[in-house]
Structure 1
Amino acid sequence: MARRAARLATYDVQLSPEILARMREILPRVGEDVVASIIAEVPSYQDALAGPMGETIRTAVRVALGGFLSIVSGRTADVPAATPPALEGAYELGRGEARSGRTTEALLAAYRIGARVAWRELSTTAVKGGMKPEAMVEFAALVFAWIDEVSDASAAGHADELATTGRVQRQLMERLARRLLSGAPADVLDDAAERADWATPTTLSAVLLPKAQIGPVLAQVSPATLVLEDPPDLEDLTLLLVPDAHGHRRRVLLRTLEGRGATTGPAKPWREARVSFERARRARLAGLGSDTEQHLVELVLSADPEARADLRAQVLAPLADLRPATAEKLTETLRSWLLHQGRRDEVAADLFVHPQTVRYRMGQLRDVYGDRLDDPATLLALTVALG
């Protein structure tokens, strides 16, 4: 603020008391003319000047013009006193405009129009009051230097508000993501989504990928994507919960992620995003491919490794009394026989042995298993255990 005041004080402009008095008289009308011109020429302001925000804008215009007249009064001591209130008002105006959804471009366009209108009125008044032509140059420079100051303050307020709003928004969306992963009740999730001003989608798909890939991917997916760094058990990765990437949109998502080291879970109803995350996490830890839907069998079989180990030991108990090498060959043959549905030639090709060898080994297996190899329940248990 002090540097700005000092810079404005360097302009050698002294208006006569008569010109100053006249300018103060027309100040309310100049302010209204500025506002009217902004409404007429900047589309986003056409409906903006009613209600509290409209009064804020009018007040900011009056304060800015009043601060300028204090500066051109010719008293250097007035400059530091006049500058902070006007710039603080401009700063708050910029913040309010950001909250109202208007862009920096619209805000600065309003300032350009305001500068033009104010200069026309003030310069006309100065000429009528007898200001010399050579003094008009310095006067014009001061007018536009002042407009630069207040517009810069508004732009700073606009940027700070967006940064603050963005930071709060990110925090609320991150909180929502964590509650989704924790399996929070539906009412808690609904409340978190409402607080984050997040339009609830139909589905969410979990994507795990290296942190270095976040920027390029976020540029190509929905802006409503939830982002969570260092998800549980995966500290070197970032989790994205991508909205409505189901059906043909999943193919688009997978193409976007191709070559980026990502693991993508299934699309699930948005409140069940935890299911998608858990599947992607397990696939990632198991070293499976990028699309979990292509590895459902492996994921099912590895869902409870201890139970599967117990099942394997149980269904292979009839081979426990055989020599280890024999038991291993028979286990290998039994697995291939199950997967190829008993087609001897295909089993032989799979094991790189003669079909007669397959026949011999299956005879051994029937000796130890008996009729159980014809029992559907036993076949299912063997398939799961050996799959």
Structure 2
Amino acid sequence: MSRRVVRRATQTQAVAGRTPVALEASVVDLMRAQLPEVADRTVSAIIAEVPSYANALSGSMGEIIRNAVQLALGGFLTLATREDAGTPMAPALEGAYQLGRGEAKSGRSMEALLAAYRIGARVAWRDMARSAVDAGVGAEQLSRFAELVFAYIDELSASSAAGHTDELESSGRVRQRNLERLAHALLTGAAADAVVAAAERAEWEPPTALTAVLMPESQVSHLLSLIDSRTLQPSEEVPGLHDGTALLLVPTAESPSARAGLLRALRGTSSVVGPTVPWLEVVRSHERALRTLGLGLDGLVDTEAHLAEVLLAADPSARADLRAKVLAPLAELRPSTADKLAETLRAWLLHQGRREAVAEELFVHPQTVRYRVGQLRELYGDRLEDPRFVLEATLALA
């Protein structure tokens, strides 16, 4: 007997062996009458809470899924309320198994499908429990009913997981290798025609733009259910990436609202989010995310909010040389004096010569600022008015 058949037989026995719930026929009829509405609410909740399904459940596909949900719940009512509780679950399990295979073929993760199951169970139980309570079903029966609902969903989701795994173990392996090659081509700056060809081989529909996201590997699993199913996750060695850090290339529309949505999905993670760029240029996003990661910032980090820091940290040795050049006139002074004048020069540049603002930042009297600026003018002369020197000093001392 194949692994798939053994798994299905075991699952069938797990639910079929449970004691049915003795609900009145009128209660069951009421629940059956409400199944179309329950199915609609279930699909709407999945679309709202699992972004991977936003487009997949629209149009004719949405109608097919609604019918499948309705049939699955109807089958559950039969299984849970008939005295011959040994009614085979094979048709429902087969449908769930094929659903799992189909999700793997569509490139959606098992995490997204399991999230859909969890949401479906929650919505279905809420609606059916409300009907049962309104019909006067007692607490003990209601508890038993809840147990059977969630056991049934567990068996369906397990069967879907089996189908998803089996598909990935067969044809899915080929597609995964092609996706890896596509990610490698994107990250190594391969020619555009080669990258497009790699996308076609992987049956991957290119988005308008991609955003590179670096995050701890331990946080990836949950995120995959919240973002576009076309997200690429290179598992082979990625240049510049340390162990324990994962890279995701997330399809993101080139709009502030789309980026804001991605940042919301990443809340609570320790992620570094690169810029959103045309998909063929995602290596730029990856490289900037890596440079920003090197800054050692905590929590969720949006590279767009740290461009100055990234720029200044791009070449530390060049910045050190520039600082030494700018502060050369102070080299002969006592270290304490040189430090105070360097501090004053920085504040004077940043506040564009506003003495009161400089004094407030340095916690000194404005007259002290006036005295120190006089010293700086003696040491630097006309260079303090030279736009080129002002630029270099601002970068060196920032």
Determine if the alignment matches structure 1 residue 235 to structure 2 residue 243. Answer: yes
Shift of 1:160: 3.4
Residue in structure 1 matched with residue 259 of structure 2 by the alignment:
250
1:209-259, CA deviations, whole angstroms, 9 ceiling, x for partnerless residues? 111111110100000000024533322111000012432111011011111
Q: Is the 8 A contact 2:208 2:253 kept in 1?
A: no
Match of 1:323 in 2: 334
Contact 1:207 1:265 in 2 (8 A): yes
Question: Which residue among 256, 271, 289 is the counterpart of 1:262?
Answer: 271
Asked if 2 retains the 8 angstrom alpha-carbon contact of 1:231 and 1:238, the reply is: no
Gaps of 5+ in 1: 5-42, 45-93, 103-155
CA offsets, 1:277-314, max 9 Å, x none?
11111111211351010000000111111111111111
Answering whether residue 386 of structure 2 is matched by residue 375 of structure 1, we say yes
Any runs of at least 4 consecutive aligned residues in structure 1 with deviations exceeding 3 A, and if so which? 156-163
Please report how far the alpha carbon of residue 157 of structure 1 lies from its aligned counterpart in structure 2 after TM superposition.
9.0
Matched length: 246
Distance 1:249 1:212, change over 3 A: same
The alpha-carbon deviation at position 187 of structure 1 amounts to 1.6
Question: In structure 2, what is the Cα distance between the partners aligned to 1:158 and 1:353?
Answer: 68
Among residues 207, 211, 214, which one is paired with 2:213 in the alignment? Answer: 207
Separation of aligned partners in 2, 1:256 and 1:157: 28
Residue in 2 that maps onto 1:192: 198
TM-score normalised by structure 2 residue count: 0.57
Superposition deviation, residue 158 in structure 1: 9.2
Aligned counterparts of 1:158 and 1:307: Cα–Cα separation in 2: 52
- CA shift, 1:98, in A, is 6.6
2:296 is matched with which residue: 283, 287, 298? Answer: 287
Distance 1:354 1:157 in 2: 75
Residue 170 of structure 1: CA displacement?
2.0
Distance of 1:174 and 1:157 partners within structure 2: 22
Question: What is the RMSD computed on CA atoms of the aligned residues?
Answer: 2.9
Distance in structure 2 (CA, Å) of the matches to 1:98 and 1:249 = 28
- Match of residue 369 from structure 2: 358
**Distance in structure 2 (CA, Å) of the matches to 1:169 and 1:244:** 22
1:193–1:323 CA distance, 2 compared to 1 (3 A) = same
Letter in 1 for 2:373: M
Distance 2:164 2:378 in 1: 83
Equivalents in 1 of 2:181, 2:385: separation in Å? 54
Distance of 2:260 and 2:266 partners within structure 1: 10
CA distance in 2, matches of 1:280, 1:246: 17
Asked which structure has the greater CA Rg, the reply is 1
Shift of 1:269: 1.0
How does the TM-score come out when normalised to structure 1?
0.59
Please tell me whether the aligned partners of residues 232 and 250 of structure 2 are also in contact (alpha carbons under 8 angstroms).
yes
**8 Å contact kept, 1:245–1:253:** no
Q: Could you list the per-position Cα deviations for residues 302-332 of structure 1 after superposition, in whole angstroms to 9, with x for gaps in the alignment?
A: 1111111111111111111111111111111
Distance in 2 between the 1:285 and 1:165 partners? 39
Matches within 5 A, 1:177-188: 177-188=183-194
Counterparts of 1:115-194 in structure 2, within 5 Å, are 160-194=166-200
Change beyond 3 A, Cα 1:360–1:159: closer
Please identify, of 206-215 and 158-167, the stretch whose mean Cα deviation from structure 2 is larger: 158-167
Give distance in 1, aligned partners of 2:164 and 2:341: 75
| Contact preservation (8 Å) 2:213, 2:249 | yes
Contact persistence 2:208–2:254 (CA under 8 A): no
% identical equivalent positions: 54
- Which SS does the other structure have where 1:275 is aligned? helix
Structure 2 unaligned runs (5+)?
A: 6-59, 62-97, 107-161
| 1:165-190 C-alpha deviation (Å, 9 max, x unpaired) | 22222221122112211111112211
Q: What is the 5 A alignment of 1:24-39? A: none
> Alignment partner of 1:235: what SS?
coil
